[in-house]
Copies of this chain bind each other. A is one copy, B any other.
Amino acid sequence: MTAGITVDLSDPVPPYEQIRRQLSSLISVGLLEPGSRLPTVRSLAADLGIAAGTVARAYKELEQQGLIESRRRNGTIVVGPPQAPDGTVRADAAVISAVDGLIRTARDARVSDETLIDLLRGRLASKLDS
């Protein structure tokens, strides 16, 4: 499954950006812990059925973002989430279970996945303040 990364070629969002986003969220949320090794650009590209350069671009941007780090022969490892300055432990188990609960609720209500994402985006935009 290569960490559950997926790419939708019919999505207007370019593949390298889809990969970058998914890895970014996995790291930020703690599902990929610091020290974890990411799949090699070639193997991930092969699994996804895309070109290696596309995966390489996603990795490059993630490295510039400070989320991952490239040792040459050692592959690419997770450095850590951008936040989590001290002992906050990035305790996002609650967030993950809330997301899963939302997915269940949405599917019970026959709300499509895309609509659900749009809905979340809309609610976020209307709550700029805390």
Interface residues on A, range: 35 or more
Tell me if A25 counts as interface (CB < 8 A to partner B).
yes
A1-21 interface (Cβ within 8 A of B): 4, 6, 12-14, 16-17, 21
> Is chain A's binding surface mostly helix, strand, loop or mixed?
helix
With both chains docked as a complex, state the minimum distance between the C-beta of A80 and any C-beta of chain B, in angstroms: 13
Q: Which of B91, B117, B126 is in CB contact (< 8 Å) with A117?
A: B117
Contact B111 A92 (CB under 8 A): yes
Query: Which A residues are closer than 8 A to B by beta carbons?
Result: 4, 6, 12-14, 16-17, 21-22, 24-26, 28-29, 31, 81-83, 88, 90-92, 94-96, 98-103, 105-127, 130
